[in-house]
A and B are shown apart, each in its own frame.
Chain A
C-alpha cells in the first residue's frame, strides 16, 4: 500500500481506481487530443475532481465535459488565454498557457 501511495504522489497511478465505488462506475470514453504541447490548456486528470466549474465558466466554449464529468479541450482554436479556468479550478488541476 505504501508503495502505491508513493506512486500516487508521483502522479503515475490513480489510487482511487482500486476502490470498490470506482469499479462500479461505468467506464466512459474520455476524449483528449493526446498532444498536450499543442493545447492551450493543460488538464491534470489525477487531481481533477470533476466539479464542472472550468467548463461552465469558460467564456468561449473551449472546454467541454466528458460524460463522466471530467473536462477536455474541445475547441483549442477558440481559447483566448483569459486564464479563467486556471484561476477558478479549486484543485489546481488546470494550467493555462500564457498568451504568446
Chain B
C-alpha cells in the first residue's frame, strides 16, 4: 500500500484487514463497494454518522473492509439488527448491504415488514443470481432454466423481482442499476441515503466464478458486457417499440414517494405519552 497513489476509496478502507480482499477475480462486489464509498464521500457524511449492517454472504463481507460503524450479523437477519440500530440512534445513516439470498429468501419476511414500516434504512441488494459463498445453490432470483449446483438440470422456479417486491411491500424509494453502470449505482445510493424512508437499491452484479461458469456466461468482462447490452433505462421504456424492450432489465428509479417515516412516528408517540403523563 505504501507505493500506491491514494484515492477516495482507499482512505475509507481498514488497512489492518487482509488485502487483496476475499472476493473472486472479477466479482462485482468490489465495484459496488467502491460506488457506495464514493456516494458516502460525496454526501460529506462523517465516518461515525454511517452504520453499515450486513448478514452472511459474499456481498455481506463488505462491512469488514470499510472504516464505518459496522455490524456483521447472522444470515438473513441484517434488517432486524439495522432496525434496532436505527431506533436507538435515529441520527445514524444506516446502510444494509445484503445479497439476493440473504435478503429475499432467508430474510424475506424481515425485508417486507421493514418496507411496510417505511423505516429510514438504505438497503443495497447485490443481486448475483446465486448463493455464491455457500457453493452455488439456486436462489429466488436465479433465472428459470439456469443451472446451479442444486438444480443441475435447470431451475424450474419462477424468478423473484426484488424491486417489484419492495414496491408492493411499501418501500418509498426503489431503484435498480447494474454493477457495470457504476456511476448510476453511485447516484442511486446517494439518492437513497438522502431519502427519508425505506430505500431499496437493487444492483445486478456478476458472479463469474460460480454462476458464470455453471451457465457458460463467460468471464467477468463478458458478463459485464451482457449487463450493458441487456438493460435499458426506465426513461426509454415508453419511447422504444415493445419488441426492443422485451426481456430486458429495466434500470432507473422505479418508485419515489414521500411518506411518514417510522422513527418520527415512534418519537411522536413517545412525546404524546410523556405529555399525558405530565398532565
Interface residues of A (CB under 8 A from B): 5, 9-12, 42, 44, 46-53, 56-57, 86-93, 95, 97
* CB-based contact A51/B219 at 8 Å: yes
> Would A92 and B30 count as touching, CB distance under 8 A?
yes
Residue from the list B4, B18, B183 in contact with A9, Cβ < 8 A = B18
| Chain B residue contacts of A42, Cβ below 8 A | 4-5
Q: Chain B interface: which size bin?
A: 35 or more
Q: Classify the secondary structure of B's interface with A.
A: loop
Which residues from 33 to 75 on chain B have a C-beta closer than 8 Å to any C-beta of chain A? 34-35
Q: Which of chain A's residues have a CB closer than 8 A to the CB of B35?
A: 87
B221 touches A52 (CB 8 A): yes
Stretch of B19-27, B168-176, B257-265 at the chain-chain interface: B19-27
Q: Does any Cβ of A come within 8 Å of B29's Cβ?
A: yes
Task: Give complex CA distance A12, B3 in Å.
Answer: 9
Q: Report the minimal beta-carbon distance from A19 to chain B, rounded to whole angstroms.
A: 14
Q: Give, as a whole number of angstroms, the nearest-CB distance from B1 to chain A.
A: 5
Instruction: Tell me if B112 counts as interface (CB < 8 A to partner A).
Output: no
Residue of A whose beta carbon sits closest to that of B219: A52
Among B19, B29, B34, B221, point to the contact of A87 (Cβ < 8 A).
Answer: B34
CA distance A92 to B12 in the complex (A): 12
Residues in A neighbouring B92, C-beta threshold 8 A = none
Q: How far is the CA of A93 from the CA of B23 in the complex (A)?
A: 14
Rank and list the top 10 A-B pairs by shortest CB-CB distance, nearest first. Answer: A90-B30, A51-B26, A49-B25, A56-B221, A51-B25, A47-B20, A87-B182, A44-B4, A51-B220, A95-B5
Roughly how many angstroms separate A53 CA and B206 CA in the complex, as a whole number?
12
Q: Does A11 lie within 8 Å of B2, measured CB to CB?
A: yes
Q: Which residue numbers of B lie inside 8 Å of A, CB to CB?
A: 1-7, 9-10, 13, 15-16, 18-21, 23-31, 34-35, 180, 182-183, 208, 219-221, 224-225
Complex contact A91–B21 (CB within 8 A): yes
Question: Which B residue's beta carbon lies closest to that of A92?
Answer: B9
The docked-state distance in angstroms from the alpha carbon of A92 to that of B99 is 21
A27 to chain B, nearest CB (A): 19
Q: Check if B20 sits within 8 Å of A53, measured CB to CB.
A: no
CB of B214, distance to nearest CB on chain A (Å): 18
Residues of B within 8 A of A91 (CB): 20-21, 30
The answer for the CA separation of A11 and B34 in the assembled complex, in Å, is 21
Across the interface, name the chain B residue whose C-beta is closest to A15: B18
Find chain B residues with CB under 8 A from A44 CB: 3-4
Query: B221–A53 contact, CB under 8 A?
Result: yes
Residues of B within 8 A of A52 (CB): 26, 219-221
The contact of A57 among B15, B24, B224, by CB within 8 Å, is B224
